[in-house]
Structure 1
Amino acid sequence: MKNMFLSFAFAAAASFAATALAEPTVGISPWGPDDEIGRLNLMTEETRAAVLSRVASGKSYDLSVDYFVGMPSWHGIGDPRYQYWLTHTPHGTVVDDPMGVGQEINHHVSYTGDAVSMYTHMGTHIDALNHFGLKGKIWNGFSASEHLGDRGWKKAGAETIPPIIARGVMLDIPVALGLEELPENYRITPDDLKSALSHHKVDLQSGDVVMIRTGRMRHYLDETAYMHNAPGLDITAAKWLVEEKGAMLLGADNLSLEAFPSQTEGDYVPVHTYLLAEKGVMIMELVMLEDLSRDQIYEFAFIGGSLKFRGASAAPMRPIALPLK
């Protein structure tokens, strides 16, 4: 019996060691070798119709932020800031006469035109599944060597993201903890998520869009305050939401969803690689949740469409929330 016990203990220890040493790998889609949208496949005509049938009224909440020069962004690591410039002005059109119609008409028809330049991961946006991968591969095993050209990814680009219509749930972590906003560098745990669900008297269902409020959006107009040591989701919380509760899409009101610095050895963005590369879960960031928090709206129909930037790793999004009955 003693030898049997020792053999079992040794085998268990060896198995644990092998598991501990195993490196994460990209997930292979259960929806087939051509799948580029991961868990958004959980949306069906039936699920969309079901949530829309529960809309309570015509009241809507805009979950997007303004884009403006000086807005928070990742320019600190080399990505471009948001830039805006005028290409036509009423006075300039009179001087330049670009249409060749003469001063009289240009004085009568006041023409304004403009242009923008930006990093795709700015403002309210959604990360496509090609945003982060592991060892040169992204979700479903698509490799950079085979599918990434000078004009973007040939697989899992932002243009593949369908319009999203699903049940949405906001987890207002500060409110559940009796705070106005979460402290700097606070790491949201599964217990925090459970506390929010209990406080809000809602539960999560498979296929939900789950939005996490940290309170950081209160500082959005102040780039330094917004970006400095933001709170975010811990890897254990991300795993709980996907593996235990079946979340389809995750988002938050901060710029990274997860908290920094990483506590996972060998990965500086473990929540991103886990969600995007391993599980096929897209991520939304800079989601405006303040109005929902103010009105204590925790369950809603989530409706959002992103721009179809071909091959891109992200795209701007303007989602709305419609309260449910």
Structure 2
Amino acid sequence: MKRHTALFHSVILSMFLAPAAANAADVASSPWGPDDEIGRLNMMTADSRKAALENLSPAKTYDLSVEYFIGMPSWQAAGDPHFQMWMTHTPKGTEVDDPLSVGEEMNAHVSYTGSAFSMYAHTGTHNDALNHFGLNGKIWNHFSADQHLGDRGWNKTGIEKMPPIIARGVLLDIPAAKGLKELEPGYRITREDLKLALSVQGIDIALGDVVLIRTGRMRHYQEADRFMENAPGLGMSAARFLADEKQALSVGADNLSFEAFPSEDDGNYVPVHTYLLAQQGVTIMELVNLEELAEDGVYEFAFIGAPLKIRGGDAAPLRPVAIPYEGSK
């Protein structure tokens, strides 16, 4: 089993400084100071990135993103827009309209195609920024909406502030560990489920890892209604295990909601999101395609990914890549 014993050695002490929150209903103050806007991503250092990229086996790399297409699964519970794409220019249309005033002969010779698209920020494989969910009008590190949210997005913790993530990645294939192809609808993943997967796979989570959770729901990605209906996801005990006990850098899953619904907290309809984002400074990745990694039994890898730099954004599309380690399983 590939282990990076030196990984993140320069930041271990700082990571045991727990985010300071007055109580469970408050957002946290960052242990990296009052100006911090990236939370746990501060754990990455030159040494940690170097360690994560050692002893790679790049004969096969894994694209962990999904395709974007009209009719794809998307979050509709709050009335957000579907993914839409339309042609702005086509070869024949350009001949008819001559939008650049270059003439019929030139338009017939040079075939021009252009398009545009629109979508909710949390569509497809994407990263949630720390401003996505907060508590009592404030987000991570006590930045308030009243002071920092304008008509053009947040001026604190926007997705453009996130650095590229380069770290050791770990896949936890929960259904495989339980002898299943996929988790049943609505299943709430527990701390015990995560520990079972670690045991079955013969690996562990190191301080500062990116942890990706497979539910098996991605098997139905081409069927939007089936994919979206009552998906399995994480529960609070699993979230606490990853963020508090294991000190994960960032977390992700192959579903669109990350956590399971309905909420297990009567006072909070998204307790996992608010705990990770607002109280632990842990960014969340959703709709991560883990099927090929799981099929090949690749559980440890270098994770490389960066969201689009949308200024003030609460999320952005992500194109993550996994590169296995020599001898990893």
Give the TM-score band, short-chain normalised. Answer: over 0.9
Query: 1:27 maps to what in 2?
Result: 28
Deviations 1:267-317 (A, max 9, x none): 000000000000000000000000001100000000001100000100000
Deviation at 1:77, TM superposition (A): 1.7
Deviation at 1:208, TM superposition (A): 0.4
Give me the whole-angstrom Cα distance separating, in 2, the residues matched to 1:293 and 1:197.
14
One-letter identity of the residue aligned with 1:273: T
Give me the whole-angstrom Cα distance separating, in 2, the residues matched to 1:299 and 1:156.
29
One-letter identity of the residue aligned with 1:309: I
Q: Secondary structure at the match of 2:195?
A: helix
1:58-207 mapped onto 2 (5 Å cutoff): 58-207=59-208
Give me the whole-angstrom Cα distance separating, in 2, the residues matched to 1:280 and 1:266.
21
Give me the whole-angstrom Cα distance separating, in 2, the residues matched to 1:77 and 1:33.
32
Give me the whole-angstrom Cα distance separating, in 2, the residues matched to 1:174 and 1:163.
30
When normalised by structure 2's length, the TM-score is 0.91
Query: 1:8 maps to what in 2?
Result: none
Give me the whole-angstrom Cα distance separating, in 1, the residues matched to 2:234 and 2:109.
55
Deviation at 1:55, TM superposition (A): 1.1
Query: 1:264 maps to what in 2?
Result: 265
Runs of 4+ in structure 1 deviating by more than 4 angstroms, as ranges, are none
Deviation at 1:22, TM superposition (A): 4.9
Query: 2:248 maps to what in 1?
Result: 247
Q: Secondary structure at the match of 2:73?
A: coil
Kindly indicate whether the alpha-carbon contact (under 8 Å) linking 1:63 and 1:320 is maintained by their aligned counterparts in 2: yes
Deviation at 1:109, TM superposition (A): 0.6
Mapped pair 1:41 → 2:39:
no
Kindly indicate whether the alpha-carbon contact (under 8 Å) linking 1:181 and 1:216 is maintained by their aligned counterparts in 2: yes
Kindly indicate whether the alpha-carbon contact (under 8 Å) linking 1:275 and 1:281 is maintained by their aligned counterparts in 2: yes
Give me the whole-angstrom Cα distance separating, in 2, the residues matched to 1:131 and 1:217.
23
Deviations 1:25-44 (A, max 9, x none): 11100111110000011110
Structure 1: which 5+ residue stretches go unaligned? Answer: 1-20
Deviation at 1:24, TM superposition (A): 2.1
Give me the whole-angstrom Cα distance separating, in 2, the residues matched to 1:249 and 1:259.
18
Deviation at 1:58, TM superposition (A): 3.6
Kindly indicate whether the alpha-carbon contact (under 8 Å) linking 1:157 and 1:312 is maintained by their aligned counterparts in 2: yes
Give identity over the alignment, percent. 64
When normalised by structure 1's length, the TM-score is 0.93
Kindly indicate whether the alpha-carbon contact (under 8 Å) linking 1:258 and 1:271 is maintained by their aligned counterparts in 2: yes
More helix by share: 1
Deviation at 1:246, TM superposition (A): 1.0
1:210-289 mapped onto 2 (5 Å cutoff): 210-289=211-290
Kindly indicate whether the alpha-carbon contact (under 8 Å) linking 1:169 and 1:211 is maintained by their aligned counterparts in 2: yes
Kindly indicate whether the alpha-carbon contact (under 8 Å) linking 1:93 and 1:106 is maintained by their aligned counterparts in 2: yes
Deviation at 1:99, TM superposition (A): 1.3
Deviations 1:184-223 (A, max 9, x none): 1111111110110011111000100000000000001111
Give me the whole-angstrom Cα distance separating, in 1, the residues matched to 2:184 and 2:203.
25
Deviations 1:72-123 (A, max 9, x none): 1112321011010000000000000111111111111110000000100000
The structure with the largest alpha-carbon Rg is: 1
Kindly indicate whether the alpha-carbon contact (under 8 Å) linking 1:24 and 1:278 is maintained by their aligned counterparts in 2: no
Deviation at 1:130, TM superposition (A): 0.2
How many residues are aligned here?
Answer: 305
One-letter identity of the residue aligned with 1:73: S
One-letter identity of the residue aligned with 1:35: D
Structure 1 pair 247/23, CA: closer, same or farther in 2 (3 Å)?
closer
Give me the whole-angstrom Cα distance separating, in 2, the residues matched to 1:76 and 1:139.
25
Deviations 1:140-181 (A, max 9, x none): 000001000111000000100110000000000010000000
Kindly indicate whether the alpha-carbon contact (under 8 Å) linking 1:166 and 1:208 is maintained by their aligned counterparts in 2: yes
One-letter identity of the residue aligned with 1:37: I
Structure 2: which 5+ residue stretches go unaligned? Answer: 1-21
